[in-house]
Structure 1
Amino acid sequence: MLDCLAETGFVVLRPYASMIEPREWENLTYLDWKSGGDTNFAVLASGDGQDDPRGFWEHGKPDKDGVWTANAEGAPGLSQWVRDVNARFGRVRVIKLQPSTSLASVTEQYLHLDDNNRLNPDGEGRVVRAWLNLTDDPNSYMVLREDRDDPSTEYQIRLPAFSQFVVDTERLWHAVYHAGTAPRYALITSFESGPDLQSWIDANAVVA
């Protein structure tokens, strides 16, 4: 596990400085796949390069060594963001999240843990997830909890345009409260913890 995730299980980084045009995520092919609310997903990298949102274990492999799908060809900026991290990656998806009905619906129904490390070989880096929020959703936030039913363990990450953060989502219960009136879009990528991911985190650290 990365040292920067040891205490809280997440790290918030500087916003992404480059521009990615909205057409990159608006024109993707989305699947009706539910996770943490009323969601659809566009698959940019999967276990076998097919438009398949299922876990990599369905293909007998850990959530690593993702294979780009046809969707990725229409999203060069999003794909480049993943490549620029320069770490071993697995699933890469864009989530389209409809507005939340209430904060209670999120904390009572949608908080969940991810299954990131199934089939991960002993001795290899733990899989965590990185987010690049694509739309400007300053009144929305990701809810993180160490204990699903204990609000005192809660952290919140605000979601303005191109915010970046990394979460150990197999440790922290999580879901997004989306307070907007239009869909929220974000890029979610599984990365292997290790020196490469740490270098990218260090390069994008918030300057005090």
Structure 2
Amino acid sequence: MHRRLEILAKTGYAVLGDYRGPAISPREWERLEYLEWKSGGDTNFAPLASATGELDCRGFWDHGKPDKGGIWTSNREIAPSLARYVESIGGEYGRVRVIKLNPSSEQEALRCLHLDDNNRLNPDGTGWVVRSWLELADTADQTVFILREDKNDPSTETRIPLHPGKQVVIDTERLWHVVWHPGPKPRYALITSWESSPVIDNWITSQADPTQLVSVG
């Protein structure tokens, strides 16, 4: 009942080439105002765009909106390069936020596998909401995105190694997902909700890099 991205039809995700735009200073994500909000581990989030423009991590449905039409918060002034990255893609975005993920063990991460609730109140006939990630901080080589078709079946698992500049798009309402980050420092990434559209499809197609994919199981 929603428009979907054909490029995600087979696997539910797309691994893109690394970000090659203007350098983004670590000061942008380090100086943001973070809120305590737990999702997929020991996390804090800095909202850059929310449903109302306030520093709010709640779902847009709490304000009677689908996860679209994001309004920039005061954090935009601290991280203008991150905001420009989102705007340069050109699609309709909803939640935009930076995640700060503290280190965990692999088993702790696997216990946090989850699905997102991206499309509550999303009208039929409009674009399905998916999410993109842009890795920001330098992380250990072992940091990986773990995706599963079946939460309890490791044979359905795919692991995507993460490093600064890595870009990934995932239908997180379809795939169980979590990031295992062994540390030692926190991991930071920009997460953006996107409405599926020709603009987003073209962006993914122009940058997709399946050679960076690692599958297990």
- Tell me the number of residue pairs that the alignment of Structure 1 and Structure 2 aligns: 206
Q: TM-score, normalising length from structure 2?
A: 0.93
Determine the structure 2 residue equivalent to 1:144: 147
Cα distance in 2 for partners of 1:9, 1:156 equals: 13
SS of residue in 1 equivalent to 2:143 = strand
CA offset at residue 207 of structure 1? 7.8
Alignment partner of 1:8 is 2:8: no
Q: Identify the match of residue 59 of structure 2 among 43, 55, 60.
A: 55
Q: TM-score, normalising length from structure 1?
A: 0.97
SS of residue in 1 equivalent to 2:76 = helix
Cα distance in 2 for partners of 1:149, 1:117 equals: 24
SS of residue in 2 equivalent to 1:106 = helix
Alignment partner of 1:72 is 2:64: no
Cα distance in 2 for partners of 1:128, 1:85 equals: 14
SS of residue in 1 equivalent to 2:85 = helix
Matching of residues 1-208 of structure 1 within 5 Å: 1-18=4-21, 19-100=23-104, 102-107=105-110, 109-137=111-139, 138-206=141-209
Cα distance in 2 for partners of 1:171, 1:207 equals: 20
State the identity %: 58
Do 1:65 and 1:90's aligned partners in 2 also have CA atoms closer than 8 Å?
yes
Cα distance in 1 for partners of 2:209, 2:113 equals: 27
Unaligned runs of at least 5 residues, structure 2: 212-217
Q: CA distance change for structure 1 residues 207 and 159 in 2, over 3 Å: closer, same or farther?
A: closer
Do 1:29 and 1:71's aligned partners in 2 also have CA atoms closer than 8 Å?
yes
Cα distance in 2 for partners of 1:8, 1:199 equals: 18
Cα distance in 1 for partners of 2:189, 2:99 equals: 5
Per-residue CA distance 1:46-97 (angstroms, 9 max, x = gap) = 0000000000000100000000000011101100111111100000010000
Determine the structure 1 residue equivalent to 2:214: none
AA of the residue aligned to 2:168 = F
Cα distance in 1 for partners of 2:127, 2:57 equals: 22
Do 2:16 and 2:210's aligned partners in 1 also have CA atoms closer than 8 Å?
no
CA offset at residue 206 of structure 1? 2.0
Deviation larger for 4-13 or 132-141: 132-141
Cα distance in 1 for partners of 2:68, 2:55 equals: 16
SS of residue in 2 equivalent to 1:129 = strand
CA offset at residue 163 of structure 1? 0.2
